[in-house]
Amino acid sequence: MLLRRFYHDTIAQASYMLGCQATGEALIIDPNRDIDLYIQAAEREGVRITGVTETHIHADFVSGAYELAQRTGAQLYLSGAGPADWQYAFAAAANAILLHDGDLIKVGNVRVNVLHTPGHTPEHIAFLVTDAAHTEQPIGVFTGDFVFVGDVGRPDLLERAAGIAGTMEAGASQLFHSLQRFKQLPDHLQIWPGHGAGSACGRALGAVPQTTLGYERLTNWALQIDDEQEFVANVLRDQPTPPPYFAQMKRINKLGPALRPSALPAALTLNDLQHLRESGVQLVDARSAPLYASGHIPGSINIPVGDAFVTWAGWLLSYAQPIALIAEPETWHRLHTELLIIGLDNLVGLGAPALIAAWQAAGEPLTTFARQPAERVYAELQQRDATLVDVRTPSEYASGHLPQSQNIPLGQLAMRLNEIPRDRPVLVYCQSGGRSPIAASLLTANGWSQVQEMCDGFAGWQAARYPTSAQSMLS
């Protein structure tokens, strides 16, 4: 048996290749849209991809299953479990084989038994694997978003992300019963989950790549609750707000993802940029926060290159409008791939930072904002009033914040701009200076002219022992 794991760090997503070295066959499980990764891996391992499948209709990335099956000629397997109104709309056109509880997929000498595990979603399935060339005992389970290391999948996403009302409690009850059945399997089973730490598909996922059922029995809170109502209350409590792009992913993956664009968009000229701005393009400046703050094209927002790029792109960018990027050319391919992973296919142009210098040389203005450490911010707040905006999560804010600050999480800021006065200075801050520059960019892009950002965040404020929460700022 051959097993390979692929991990996309920026969305904390795992996919897998399961193969039989004796016959040279391989099954890909939960592929994302970067399908060249799996094709190249199969070539390296000397196997051919004969099957492609996934555990459920994903909410956090565009599935690559359909396109990978098309590219390789492999058989596509999709869940046929769950209610009629939550089925793959493209399954028949894709000649997919629909899977139900108890079905079997053979990958050479490896057997893959299908388990219907509803709860995270109604159609969710898991794959129980047996290396039949050596034993009749199963070796492990691909659990998708059913069971993670230290946690279980969220049953609230259909309601909170996809807008399907009244599904949270029912999903939580289904998840409880799926877990009771799952706990009947042997302790030695390895668990290969679909996500790791940082994913919004669970509440508190562990960072190790795999676990065992026996270990999860000892450490996973969800496997230790035997009362259904207690479980339902616990699994729905304190779940983080899902990004708005999750609803788009559900729709795209249910109806059928388009084939991804194969080439980078053209490099932008100054004339292109001026025309795109006039036509309503979403202009994203992916340079570092200090460079952006020191001068940027009016109307652009700052989402710096890094692991959080795809997250904030999903939170802040519209699927209905074209996107243009300004970034170093060596990052263009990476950023394009990240946008495609979450279905933002409407990238129409890429510009190098030199485009900003050309813009200024042409007599066009640049916009700036101040980035100040906590020490400077504290001194200035003794001299003048300002609107203080904390863009951290509600739980972070509740644990301590600047006095008189208001909490508007970064992901909600674009929708709540009307809560921020325009006629006075605005200070934005986060925990350590990663989110606040993006918040400041949203404000300047929307016309706020007196914006300041605390570059070392609440961590810097606390380190300096300045007053927090309800304490007075006056010494």
Tell me which residues are annotated as active site.
430
DSSP letter string over 308-340?
Answer: THHHHHHHH--SSS-EEEE--GGGHHHHHHHHH
Query: What whole-number distance in Å separates Cα of residue 272 and Cα of residue 258?
Result: 27
Query: What whole-number distance in Å separates Cα of residue 455 and Cα of residue 114?
Result: 50
Residue type, 155: P
DSSP letter string over 191-255?
Answer: EEESB-TT-TTSSS--SSS-EEHHHHHHH-GGGG---HHHHHHHHHTTPPPPPTHHHHHHHHHHH
SS3 content of the chain, % helix, strand, coil (to 5): 35, 20, 45
- Asked whether the CA dihedral 275, 277, 279, 283 is positive or negative, the reply is positive
95 in the Ramachandran plot: left (φ > 0), alpha (ψ -120 to 50) or beta?
A: left
Query: What whole-number distance in Å separates Cα of residue 258 and Cα of residue 269?
Result: 29
Query: What whole-number distance in Å separates Cα of residue 413 and Cα of residue 325?
Result: 21
Residue type, 129: V
> Nearest 5°: CA angle at 177, between 176 and 182?
95
Residue 343, CB half-sphere, CA atoms under 13 Å: how many? 25
Decide: 302 and 441 in contact? Cβ < 8 Å: yes
Question: In whole angstroms, how far apart are CA 227 and each of 166, 177, 216?
Answer: 21, 10, 18
Q: Which residue has the tokens 């010494």?
A: 475
Among residues 359, 356, 371, the alpha carbon closest in space to that of 289 is found at 371
Decide: 323 and 348 in contact? Cβ < 8 Å: yes
